[in-house]
Chain A
Amino acid sequence: IAGITQAPTSQILAAGRRMTLRCTQDMRHNAMYWYRQDLGLGLRLIHYSNTAGTTGKGEVPDGYSVSRANTDDFPLTLASAVPSQTSVYFCASSDSASGYTGELFFGEGSRLTVL
């Protein structure tokens, strides 16, 4: 089934540890995104990528890094996790172009708990 796959689904992590959330899409969408969702705050954009080889910062990028080596993969790395990074993380992709942002397709989410 075409779509977006995220891994892991759920993870408990000790503070200070490094963690990479994986995201793969098979729709050949050029744009990919990472959002975090917290109660009462909605979805907030962490980082995005317009196309392979380029990335950009969103609303809440601090403490996170991304890479886009190819069209399909967009991993999100927490270099040294802190408890405030406890959240549900959603990866998304869209078929977008300059001046047009298409519908976002979301993965099922990764629930991360940092203790």
Chain B
Amino acid sequence: GQNIDQPTEMTATEGAIVQINCTYQTSGFNGLFWYQQHAGEAPTFLSYNVLDGLEEKGRFSSFLSRSKGYSYLLLKELQMKDSASYLCAVTSGDYKLSFGAGTTVTVRA
């Protein structure tokens, strides 16, 4: 089975940096995804890590350590539109993706 943990809520100020941690215990590992979900909308893809290290994509970066079962999503230069839920998801390469409960980020002016 999959066990994926991430904080429930985080609050940060506009322009600041926020780091969302995700730890996982899985039967097999084949990749880790981060998704963004605004209230009332569908999740949308942010990043995918399969190897250890940092993947940077604009203001968003994602890090993976497979030996520690750990990932984080880094959001820089926060904007009000970044207020959303951020979902960590893990796959064992068996066509299925298991999601954590999500972290709700609130950006304040």
Query: Which residues of A come within 8 Å of B, CB atoms?
Result: 31, 33, 35, 40-45, 48, 50, 56, 58-59, 90, 94, 96, 98-101, 103-109
Interface size on B, residues (CB 8 A): 24
Q: Are B87 and A43 in contact (CB under 8 A)?
A: yes
Q: Are B41 and A108 in contact (CB under 8 A)?
A: yes
Question: Which residues from chain B contact A58 at a C-beta distance below 8 Å?
Answer: 96
**17 A–B contacts, CB within 8 A, in A order:** A42-B102, A43-B99, A44-B99, A45-B96, A45-B98, A50-B95, A58-B96, A90-B42, A99-B30, A101-B30, A101-B91, A101-B93, A101-B97, A103-B45, A105-B45, A107-B42, A109-B42
Given contacts A106-B42, A106-B43, contact A40 B101 (CB under 8 A): yes
Q: Which chain A residue shows the least CB distance to B35?
A: A104
- Minimum CB–CB distance for A7 against chain B, Å: 14
Q: Which chain B residue shows the least CB distance to A106?
A: B42
Q: Are B94 and A108 in contact (CB under 8 A)?
A: no
Q: Are A98 and B43 in contact (CB under 8 A)?
A: no
Q: Are A96 and B95 in contact (CB under 8 A)?
A: yes
- Minimum CB–CB distance for B36 against chain A, Å: 11
Render B80-106 as a binary contact track against A, CB cut-off 8 A, 1 for contact: 000000010101011111111110000
Q: Which chain A residue shows the least CB distance to B90?
A: A101
Q: Are A101 and B31 in contact (CB under 8 A)?
A: yes
Task: Report if B63 contacts A (CB, 8 A).
Answer: no
Q: Are B95 and A59 in contact (CB under 8 A)?
A: no
Q: Are A98 and B98 in contact (CB under 8 A)?
A: no
Give the docked Cα–Cα distance between A47 and B102 (Å).
Answer: 21
- Minimum CB–CB distance for A97 against chain B, Å: 8
- Minimum CB–CB distance for B89 against chain A, Å: 8
Q: Which chain A residue shows the least CB distance to B46?
A: A103
Given contacts A99-B30, A101-B91, A104-B97, contact A90 B43 (CB under 8 A): yes
Question: Which residues from chain B contact A35 at a C-beta distance below 8 Å?
Answer: 99
Give the docked Cα–Cα distance between A82 and B94 (Å).
Answer: 30
